[in-house]
Amino acid sequence: MFNINNPEIKFALDSVREAAQLVQTVQKESTKNALTKGDKSPVTVADFASQALVSYHLLQAFPDAVLVGEEASDVLKAEGAENLLAQVTGYVARFVPETEPATVCEWIDRGAADPAKRFWTLDPIDGTKGFIRGDQYAVALALIDDGQVQIGVLGCPNLGASGTLTVAVRGEGTWLTSIADFEKNDWKRIQVSPRAKPNEARLMRSFESGHTDVSKIDEFASALGSTAEPIRMDSQAKYAVLAAGEGEIILRLLSPKMPNYQEKIWDQAAGSLVLEEAGGKISDLYGKALDFSVGRKLINNRGVLATNGLLHDAALKALEKIGA
């Protein structure tokens, strides 16, 4: 069992749990206040509020810690955005009563830091389109030290009957509890699937196709020989499911529309450790380990392949066969 009283682990669990509860509340009350960022992905009140809340807790626990987050407050400061900022402030204030609009923006913008030797990285809502649809999404937080993920936490409010909280600590395994039962300290260690036959491999496929190549994934399944029904799910929630043995392969191919796309570290860091500590394996499409030491993007990697470990070599051969 991991040490739940370790200050960094405790911060990560507490802040992700609260952020998950916050975004779940926003989802229940309204998802109509979405807008579009420059990269065409939707961002909502919940994205901003979630990042502000986690950043606030990090500031309280570790004032000098570095945070690399996805969001920036520029849009909230723009003319005509007063109502949006007021909504974000209102949701954060449910957890931090002293919240003001100016401090919300300050907390969000702490995530603009450049990666250091030791830093936290946050995706306040991974899978925003899934969030808007009422499907799967995750709050993803990870601690990276000298290029290695040391702690990874995924809060998945729509996974399971009452949402799940998954934590991985390097060398200590991957553990799961429900968000509702968090206070009970009732953690279950999880392991990847033992399936080793390629034809039985269940591919976990996103509903969102913007950053992947759907037709190539079909070719991959054929080359692998997989006849199992794929599992469709957005966000790093897929890593929590894969780590619990409910799937075998996650594939992130590059979309023909975005051939030079580079993965952001917050999209993979927490999920990668959750999978690895459950016995799985993750690499890029060429089998190279993901390199979290070179900034806000995985510039030394191309795409992502995550498996239960037993099927990793077969998956790499299938990728080579289709020229991915």
Q: Is 128 annotated as catalytic? A: yes
Across all residues in the chain, what is the average pLDDT? 94
Look up residue 282 and give its two tokens.
Answer: 């993750």
pLDDT tens readout for residues 216-258: 899 999 999 999 999 999 899 999 999 999 999 999 998 888 8
Angle between helices 82-93 and 45-61 in degrees, nearest 10: 50
Considering the domain 7-189 in this protein, what is its CATH number?
Answer: 3.30.540.10
Q: Is 41 helix (H, G, I), strand (E, B) or coil?
A: coil
Q: What's the confidence (pLDDT) of residue 72?
A: 95
Q: Which pLDDT tens digit goes with each residue over 161-191?
A: 899 999 999 999 999 999 998 888 899 999 9
Q: 66-102 burial string, b = 16+ CB within 10 Å, else e?
A: bbbbbbbbebbeeeeeeebbebbbebbeebbeebebe
Confidence bin at 30 (pLDDT 50/70/90): confident
Q: How would DSSP label each residue in 155-213?
A: EETTSSSS-EEEEEETTTEEEEEEGGGGGGT--EE--------GGGPPEEE-S--TTS-
Find, among 203, 219, 211, the residue nearest to 307 by Cα.
203
Rounded alpha-carbon distances, angstroms, from residue 232 to 104, 124, 203, 222, 235 = 35, 21, 8, 17, 10
Let me know the angle formed at the C-alpha of 178 by 175 and 181, rounded to the nearest 5 degrees: 110
- Residues 52-84 have pLDDT tens digits of 999 999 999 999 999 999 999 999 999 999 999
Q: Is 47 a catalytic residue?
A: yes
Q: Give the active site residue among 99, 128, 174, 212.
A: 128
SS3 251: strand
Residues forming beta bridges with residue 123, ordered by sequence position:
140
Q: What is the pTM of this model?
A: 0.95
| 132 pLDDT tier (thresholds 50, 70, 90) | confident
Is 129 a residue whose pLDDT tops 90? no
What is the distance between the alpha carbons of residues 314 and 316, in angstroms, rounded to a whole number?
A: 5
Residue type, 86: A
Distance CA 96, CA 117 (A): 30
Please list, in sequence order, all residues whose beta carbon lies within 8 angstroms of the beta carbon of residue 173, skipping any fewer than 6 positions away: 2, 189, 277, 278
Neighbours of 108 (CB within 10 A): 30
CATH 3.40.190.80 fits 198-322, yes or no: yes
Among 47, 123, 126, 213, the active-site one is 47
User: How far apart (Å, rounded) are the C-alpha atoms in residues 299 and 263?
Assistant: 8
Outline which parts of the chain fall under CATH 3.30.540.10. 7-189
As a whole number of Å, the end-to-end CA separation of the chain is 39
Give start-end residues of each CATH 3.40.190.80 domain in the chain: 198-322
